[in-house]
Every structure is written in structure tokens, then in C-alpha cells.
Amino acid sequence: MFCLTPLFAQTVAQQIKIPIYKVNNNHYISAYEYARANQADIYFNENKKKLSIKSTQSKNIVISQNSSFIIVNEKIYHLFLPILYQNNDFLIPINAFLNTMKNISGPIGFIDTSNKHFIIYTQRTINIDDVAIKNKTNGMIIHIDTRQKFNDNIISGAISQGWLSITIPGGIIDSAKIVNAKKKYPVKRIRCIQNIESAQISFLINEDIDEFQINSSDDYININIRMNTEENIAIIKERGEKWLLDTIVIDAGHGGKDPGAVGIGGIKEKTITLDVARKLGALLEQNLGVTVIYTRDDDTFVPLYKRTRIANESNGKLFISLHANSAKKSHKASGFETYLLRPGKWDDAIEIVKRENAVIQLEADQHRYKDFTDEEHIMGSIVQNQIIKESEFLASQVQIQLDRVLNIKNRGVKQAGFHVLVGAEMPNILIELGFVSNKKDVRLLSKAQYRQKMAAAIFRAIKTYKEQYEKSVIED
Ligand SMILES: [Zn+2]
């Protein structure tokens, strides 16, 4: 099979500005800046104060401190003014250098009219190739093809007068290709500026940008842009109207080889969660006429990613994850609480998150959770922001209903980043039913009647949520 891909790096003709320095009324350029502009390799001989500049056009220039002679491709030329060595840099007399190089290989550039810059003609190796615009329902992704990894920490972006400008240190752009890249609404124009140290690509965007985020990989830079929030809310709402609250997913935490928290008297979290899940499911099926999907309905181990997949694939409209708490340090800790997944609040309730997420270590496919890239997370977070309002309402209802019937502490609604809730495309909450490390909680959690009480309270919360949800769909 033939391979037509060129083996050599693609170069582009560019004009690059470098500053001219004035010393004793003579004009000079920095040898290092000249070398960088030409992407040349430099070899510095410190003992001899000699510098070799070897550019991609295989022009080899050697200069020495205080010498007015330069060597170009092993031939000696006279510049009449000496090369200066200042602040660890060599200064080359620009006029003589320009004339000498012109005689050797044709013009290498020109001095601008202000006498402040030397504009170099150069061939540079492109490392930024192309741009593609991908529309998303809630914004867009500007995908920049690169030939190397640019660390996203050093890439910067700024918005000014409708232009989003991305500055990429070390970037060398194929300006012609990028400026003429296929534009899609809302990108109206693309501009490029090539500097010695960086490349700047600017996009004229015909919509208000809410926020953007840059992330890079080995061969691309992605700019995730979120915009048009109001319109998106309308789209999501419209989609929501077609949804009936007909399927509820109940997720009994842990199971099988993962017992969850093990508490006083050997009480296991997985046993409590499964029993409450079954009781809640039965109430929902009998009284609300909805389909109940269990992520597990027996004592088996189900990885976290599978739990949300089950929820998404079954078209679940609500996701209820049941857990029980444990506090190693304080046996006094007691009560029930409901969690929301709130993007950007991952630091909250760190300890409980660590414990609940620790189950991932029991799973064979741990790498799956690394697949939540920033891009997916930001795009996912927008849907989550719509979902979160409904989740908040449900969570508050759960706390209200549990508080009415239970005699243990109401710890309120909290926010944290649970893996089990990441990726659930529906309102979702995680309920911690009580502490298996607390005597009183354990005594209650061990009773079937008490577990029935909890299930009934959660059921009433869901019923209120369903009524509210359907009412708002009709009213809007
Ligand atoms: Zn748990």
C-alpha cells in the first residue's frame, strides 16, 4: 500500500516582526530573536563567545563577539560593524547583515518605515493546521487541529467586542488555511496573527458567549463555548414537555462484594438500601402507575457506570440512589440527608464522596471514570443545570417528608460530586438514610417497619414532585 502522506514537516511562508535595537546610533537585531523567528537551532560556544544559527533552510550562520566577520555556509563575510555581546545576547548590525544575506541568497526581509522593526521572510514549520466549528445544542466547540500538544494551562482566551481571541504560545499557524476554514453560524470571521513567540486566532462570534473553556490533547485544542442559555432552556423545556414522568429508577447502593458501610452489630449498608429500594418501588408501582427500574434487585455487585447506563437506557425520568452513612470519627453523627450533584462543587462533603466513590476501586473497569473529559463535563453540566432545579425540588421534598415521620436528625440537602450521579440524564438525588455507625440510627434502620416508614416518606416526596412536574408542564 502506498502512503502519500509527506514525511517532511509542512512549512509556511511567514513575515515576522522582530525589534530593532539602537546602540550608538547603529541599528541591531538580537541573534536569539532572529533564530527563534526562523525556528533555527542555536549552538553557543561559551568559551569562544561564538554562536551558530542553523535554520531549517539549512543556512548556517556563525557569529562571534566583537567580530565584524560572519560565516554563512562556511564562507566569510565582512559586516564592517562588529557583533556586540550584551546581556547574554548577540546583537547583529542589521543593515550590513541584510545586505550580506541578500547577496548570498536573496532578500531575507526588510526594515519597516519606523526603523523599529525588522520584518523577516521565513519558512516556519506549521504546528497549527486547521479549525473546525462544531455546533452543539447549548453552544459550540471550536476544534483547532495541532501537530503537537500545547499545554492548556498556557493557552489563553479573551473576549472583546464580539471577538474571541485565543493565544497559543509556541504556535505556528497556517494562516491562509485557518482564515479560510469553513465558517458556520455563529462564527462570522476568523483572523490570525503570527508573533515570534505565539500565534493568535480570533473568531468573530455572532452570539453572546456565556463562558468558554479551553482544553488540549496531543493533536488538538478544543474551545468549549457555552452560549444562548435562554434559548437552550426553551429547547430543553420543549423536550421536557414530551416527557411523561412514567419511569423511575431506584438505585440501591452497593451490593454483592461491596457491602458499603458496615456498622454496629455488622449491619450492612447494602442490605438496608436494597430493602428500602424494594419497598419504595412497590409503593410507586402500586400507587403511581409508573414503571420502576431497579439498578439491582438482589444482592449483586453493579458497577457505578452501569447504574447510570441502566437509568439512561431505560429512559428513566428520575434517579433515586439510596445509601446509608457512616462516620468513623464520631459515633454521635446521626440523621438523614439528601445529596445533589452540583458541578463545580466537588470539594463539598469530601469525606462522604470519597467513601461512596471508593467502590470504583472494586470495579474491573476503573478507567471508565477517567473518560469524563472536561468537554463532556461542561456539556453535561448544562443539561445538569436544568436538571438540578428539579433535583433540588425533589431533594427538599424528600427531606420534608422524612422529617415528618422520622425521629432522627434532619441533616438537610447537600451538594457533592458522586460518580453514581454523574451522567444520569434526569433529575437525580442520593439519599443517605441514616448512620450505621450510630446506635440510635442502627436500632431504627434494623426495623422493617422503620424502613417501610422511610420508603413511604420518599414515595410521598416523589408523588408531590410528580404532581408539581405535570402541573408545570401543563401550565407552561
Ligand atoms: Zn453508600
Torsion 57-59-64-68 (CA) sign? negative
- Tell which residue, 252, 207, 264, 251, has the closest CA to residue 232: 207
Q: Which of 151-165, 227-241, 297-311 has the lowest mean pLDDT?
A: 227-241
Q: Which pLDDT score, from 0 to 100, does residue 245 have?
A: 83
Q: Which of 134-138, 254-258, 297-301 has the lowest mean pLDDT?
A: 134-138
Task: Evaluate whether 190 touches 183 at the Cβ level (below 8 Å).
Answer: yes
Q: Which pairs from 185-194 meet CB under 8 Å and 24+ separation?
A: 185/135, 186/140, 186/227, 187/133, 187/140, 187/142, 190/131, 191/163, 194/14, 194/16
Compute, in angstroms, the gap from residue 69 CA to the centroid of ligand 1: 77
Q: Which pLDDT score, from 0 to 100, does residue 315 have?
A: 81
Task: Evaluate whether 441 touches 266 at the Cβ level (below 8 Å).
Answer: no
Compute, in angstroms, the gap from residue 469 CA to the centroid of ligand 1: 28
Task: Evaluate whether 148 touches 42 at the Cβ level (below 8 Å).
Answer: no
Compute, in angstroms, the gap from residue 355 CA to the centroid of ligand 1: 7
Compute, in angstroms, the gap from residue 381 CA to the centroid of ligand 1: 23
Give the pLDDT confidence of 1-34 residue by residue, as tens digits.
Answer: 343 444 456 787 778 889 999 999 999 999 999 9
Phi, psi of 92 (to 5 degrees): -105, 130
Q: Which pLDDT score, from 0 to 100, does residue 59 have?
A: 80
Compute, in angstroms, the gap from residue 291 CA to the centroid of ligand 1: 24
For 162, residues 6+ apart whose C-beta sits below 8 A from its C-beta are 204, 205, 206
Most confident of 50-59, 182-191, 422-431: 182-191
Compute, in angstroms, the gap from residue 290 CA to the centroid of ligand 1: 26
Compute, in angstroms, the gap from residue 365 CA to the centroid of ligand 1: 19
Work out the pLDDT band at 197, boundaries 50, 70, 90: confident
- Parallel/antiparallel/unpaired status of strands 156-160 and 128-136: unpaired
Compute, in angstroms, the gap from residue 46 CA to the centroid of ligand 1: 64
Q: Which pLDDT score, from 0 to 100, does residue 368 have?
A: 44
Compute, in angstroms, the gap from residue 23 CA to the centroid of ligand 1: 73
Q: Which pLDDT score, from 0 to 100, does residue 379 have?
A: 46
- Tell which residue, 16, 15, 31, 19, has the closest CA to residue 116: 19
Q: Which of 12-21, 112-121, 128-137, 370-379 has the lowest mean pLDDT?
A: 370-379
Compute, in angstroms, the gap from residue 333 CA to the centroid of ligand 1: 16
Residue 58 Ramachandran class (φ > 0 left, ψ -120 to 50 alpha, else beta) = left
Most confident of 296-305, 312-321, 360-369: 296-305
Percent with pLDDT over 90 in the chain: 48
Residue 358 is given by DSSP the state G
Q: Which pLDDT score, from 0 to 100, does residue 355 have?
A: 54
**How far apart are alpha carbons 186 and 405 in whole angstroms?**
54
Compute, in angstroms, the gap from residue 467 CA to the centroid of ligand 1: 29
- Tell which residue, 81, 46, 80, 83, has the closest CA to residue 61: 83
Compute, in angstroms, the gap from residue 183 CA to the centroid of ligand 1: 48
- Parallel/antiparallel/unpaired status of strands 318-325 and 247-252: parallel
Instruction: Name the average pLDDT for the chain.
Output: 83
- Residue 374 confidence (pLDDT) above 50: no
Task: Evaluate whether 272 touches 323 at the Cβ level (below 8 Å).
Answer: no
Give the pLDDT confidence of 408-433 residue by residue, as tens digits.
Answer: 999 999 876 665 555 566 788 899 99
Q: Which grid coordinates belong to 95?
A: 543593515
Q: Which pLDDT score, from 0 to 100, does residue 239 have?
A: 53
Compute, in angstroms, the gap from residue 286 CA to the centroid of ligand 1: 27
Phi, psi of 152 (to 5 degrees): -70, -15
Compute, in angstroms, the gap from residue 18 CA to the centroid of ligand 1: 62
Secondary structure of residue 53 in the 3-state scheme: strand
Q: Which grid coordinates belong to 168?
A: 497559543
Compute, in angstroms, the gap from residue 256 CA to the centroid of ligand 1: 13
**How far apart are alpha carbons 404 and 410 in whole angstroms?**
10
Report the pLDDT averaged over residues 194-200: 86
Give the pLDDT confidence of 329-341 residue by residue, as tens digits.
Answer: 888 999 999 987 6
Compute, in angstroms, the gap from residue 468 CA to the centroid of ligand 1: 29
Q: Which pLDDT score, from 0 to 100, does residue 375 have?
A: 44
Q: Which pLDDT score, from 0 to 100, does residue 14 have?
A: 78
Work out the pLDDT band at 196, boundaries 50, 70, 90: confident
Compute, in angstroms, the gap from residue 391 CA to the centroid of ligand 1: 19
**How far apart are alpha carbons 206 and 403 in whole angstroms?**
50
Q: Which pLDDT score, from 0 to 100, does residue 106 have?
A: 84
Q: Which of 170-174, 205-209, 356-360, 392-396 has the lowest mean pLDDT?
A: 356-360
Compute, in angstroms, the gap from residue 442 CA to the centroid of ligand 1: 15
Compute, in angstroms, the gap from residue 432 CA to the centroid of ligand 1: 8
Compute, in angstroms, the gap from residue 453 CA to the centroid of ligand 1: 20
Task: Evaluate whether 269 touches 252 at the Cβ level (below 8 Å).
Answer: no
**How far apart are alpha carbons 350 and 226 in whole angstroms?**
28
Compute, in angstroms, the gap from residue 233 CA to the centroid of ligand 1: 33
Compute, in angstroms, the gap from residue 337 CA to the centroid of ligand 1: 12
